[in-house]
Amino acid sequence: MTLSIGTKLGRYEIRKKIGEGGMGEVYQATDNDLNRTVALKILPAHIASQQNRLQRFVLEAKAASALNHPHILTIYEIGAVGDLRFIATEFVEGETLQPRIKSGLNLAQILEIAIQIAGALSAAHAAGIVHRDVKSENIMVRTDGYAKLLDFGLAKLIEPETLDGDPDAPTRAQIRTGPGVVMGTANYMSPEQAKGMQADARTDLWSLGAVLYEMVTGHVPFIANSATETLALILQKEPQPLTRYSDEVPPELERIVAKALTKDREERYQSAKDLLIDLRNLKRKLEVSAEIERTASPELHTSESSRTSNDGATAAISQRITSSSGSEHVVSIFTRHKLATLVVALVLASALIGIGAGGEAAITPYLLTRYFGLRAFSTLYGVTWTFYAAAAAVGPVILGRAFDSTGSYTSVLVALATALSLAAALNLFLPRYSNTPDVL
C-alpha cells in the first residue's frame, strides 16, 4: 500500500516515498507538532496482524529507542493509525553505505566508518540487543561521513518459525525472500546463523567483518549464484585475503578482518569493544606514520639544503685555496703552453696598439708607411689587415684553450680576449691619418 503525498498519520504528514524493502515502505514525513523531518517505516500488514511477533517487535524497538548513541538511528515512536503500524525515526540526510562502496572509499574512510559502527554495536550489545542484520544497506552515511546503524530489532522480527522435521528449514528460514525478509542478508550471515543456531553478539561482529571486507574489496567475502550456495561457501570456505584485491592493505587490517570472519565464534572477537580497540589502534598508527612522513619531508628537504650548503662551502673553500695559489698556477700554465702564450701576447699587443691610437687612425698602417715606404706599406697593409681579422676570429678560442685548466679564470680571460680582439678588428675599418699616403 503506497501512501500519497499529504497523507496524515497522526501528527505526521507524508512528504515523499524514499525507500522500499522487505519490512515495508519508508517515507519522509514532517512531524507537525515538533516541526521536524522524520522517517516513517510502514510495517507490512502480515507482520502487523501477528500479535506475538508485533509484541516482540515492540519490546525490541523500545529497547533500541532507549539506546543513546550517536551512531545508532534514533527511534522516536511506534504508532498505529487504523490498520497501519509504523515506526517514526530520525531522518538521516545521506545514502546507504552500499553506493559509497561502489564509488570507492579510501583507507581512512573505511576505518572511520568501521569504528563508528563498532561503537554502535558495542553500545547495543551492552544493552542486551543483538542486531542480527548488520549489512551495508543498513548503514546510512551522511554527506560529512557520519554513519548511522539502522533497523535494530527488525532482523529478529522477520525470522519465521522453524518447521519441525524439515532439515532444510533453518536455512530457508534465514534466506527466504518473501515479504518481511531483506534481500541479500545471506551474504552477511555468520556460520552459526547459516546453521540455524542461536545468534549472539559475536554474530554481529562477523557481519561487521563482512561489511569491512566489502568496503576494502568492493564486494562481500562470499559470492555465489544463489543464497543457498552462498551459505555453503560461508560454512566451508575461507574468504580470499584482502591483499589479493589491494596491495595497500596494512597487515594489521588483514588480521582484524580475518579474526572477525573466523568461523568458530569462540576464536572470533568476543566483544565489539575488542574489535573497536583494534580498529582505533590501527587508525592511530596509520595517522602517526602519516604525520612522521609529513614531518620527515621538510627535514629531508632541510638536510638536502644543508648538504648543498656544505657542498657550496667546500667549493668555496676549494676556491679560496685555488685563489691563494693562483700566481703559481698561472706560471705553470705559461710554462706548459708556450706557443699559445706567445700568440695570445701578440693578439693582446696588437689590440692595445690599435686602441692606443685614439680610435681615429689605423696606427699600424701609418707606422708601416713612415718607416718602410709606400711599397712596403702596400704589401704589409694587407698582411696586417689579415692579422687583425684572424686575431678577432681566433683570439678568444686560443685564449680559452690556453687557460682551459684554470677553471674560474677561463670565463674572465675569454671575455677580455674577446673585447680586445674586437677592438683590433674595428681598427681595420676606422679612417686613417690625413698624412698617411693614399695607396689607391
Task: Please name every residue paired with 20 in a beta bridge, in sequence order, or none if there are none.
Answer: 25
Find cell 523500545 and name the residue: 62
Alpha-helical regions (H) of 179-271: 191-194, 201-217, 227-236, 251-260
Residue 42, SS3 per DSSP: strand
Strand spans (E) along 285-324: none
Grid cell locating 299: 627535514
d(C-alpha 400, C-alpha 415), whole Å = 9
> Phi then psi for 225, rounded to 5 degrees?
-80, -15
Residue 440, SS3 per DSSP: coil
HSE-up of 365 (CA within 13 Å, CB side)? 26
Grid cell locating 10: 497522526
Which entry of 31, 33, 83, 133 is annotated as an active-site residue?
Answer: 133
Strand spans (E) along 252-381: none
Find cell 572470533 and name the residue: 268
d(C-alpha 49, C-alpha 83), whole Å = 9
Residue among 17, 16, 13 at smallest CA distance from 33: 13
HSE-up of 135 (CA within 13 Å, CB side)? 18
CA dihedral 264→268→271→273, nearest 10 degrees, is -170
Sheet holding 75-81, edge to edge: 8-9, 12-21, 24-31, 36-42, 84-90, 75-81
Asked if 133 is an active-site residue, the reply is yes
Q: Which residues are tagged catalytic?
A: 133
